[in-house]
């Protein structure tokens, strides 16, 4: 059984509620997005950590637009893959608390009219890595990127 299959099996059995370290040689990239529909502001956060939990890199950014959470969470995953690729990381596990997006990516489903094109971009970016897996985690296990996304809604430019 390959690591991707093991991750899929593990995620179907029990969804993690806390952050867990990546497998040896992998970088775990947790991603989230936040939005205020009333103000038309979105924020995204990406936290990349190694096996010991130490933060390798973190990014956050914001924008002004009226959108939906699922679209912004998918967009944040695409952004995270671009950032990870620029860092030269070859083995990544991307984790999100948006089950619908994580499942669409994992199954390769591009049919959703709201996120299908973004999922297609993500799948193309995935192929540039030696190994790249996607998983779902409950918000409690994704709190660092969640707080980054919430914080980003208050800033005027992307931060690293």
DSSP string, 41-104: EEEEEEEEE-TTS-EEEEEEEEEE----HHHHHHHHHHHHHHHHHHHT--EEEEEES-HHHHHH
Return the pLDDT at 13: 56
The pLDDT mean for the chain works out to 90
Within the chain, which residues score under 50 in pLDDT? 1, 3, 5-6, 8-12
Q: Find out whether 138 and 15 touch, Cβ atoms under 8 Å.
A: yes
Question: What's the token pair of residue 122?
Answer: 């993500």
In this structure, are strands 91-96 and 27-36 parallel, antiparallel, or unpaired? parallel
The CATH-assigned architecture of domain 3-152 is: 2-Layer Sandwich (3.30)
Return the pLDDT at 1: 43
pLDDT tens, residue by residue, 33-62: 999 988 999 999 999 999 999 999 999 999
Q: Find out whether 74 and 101 touch, Cβ atoms under 8 Å.
A: yes
Residue indicated by tokens 């973004």: 118
Return the pLDDT at 51: 92
Return the pLDDT at 6: 47
d(CA 18, CA 149): 18
Q: Find out whether 4 and 108 touch, Cβ atoms under 8 Å.
A: no
User: What are the domain boundaries of the chain?
Assistant: 3-152
In this structure, are strands 55-64 and 41-49 parallel, antiparallel, or unpaired? antiparallel
DSSP 141: G
Residues linked to residue 41 through DSSP beta bridges, in sequence order: 36, 64
Q: What is the DSSP string of 9-33?
A: HHHHH---SS--PPPTT-EEEEEEE
């Amino acid at each position: 059984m390959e690591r991707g299959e093991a991750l899929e099996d593990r995620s179907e059995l029990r969804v993690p509620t806390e952050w867990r370290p990546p497998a040896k040689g992998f970088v775990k990239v947790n991603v989230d997005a936040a939005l205020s529909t009333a103000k038309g502001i979105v924020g995204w956060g990406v936290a990349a950590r190694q096996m010991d939990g130490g933060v390798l890199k973190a990014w956050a950014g914001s924008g002004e637009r009226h959108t939906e959470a699922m679209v912004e969470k998918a967009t944040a995953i695409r952004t995270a893959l671009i950032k990870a690729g620029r860092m030269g990381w070859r083995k990544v596990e991307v984790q999100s608390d948006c089950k619908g997006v994580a499942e669409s990516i994992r199954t390769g489903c591009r049919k959703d009219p709201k996120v299908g094109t973004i999922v297609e971009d993500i799948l193309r970016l995935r192929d540039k890595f030696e190994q790249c897996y996607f998983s779902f985690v409950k918000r409690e296990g994704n709190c660092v990127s969640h707080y980054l996304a919430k914080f980003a809604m208050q800033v005027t430019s992307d931060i690293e």
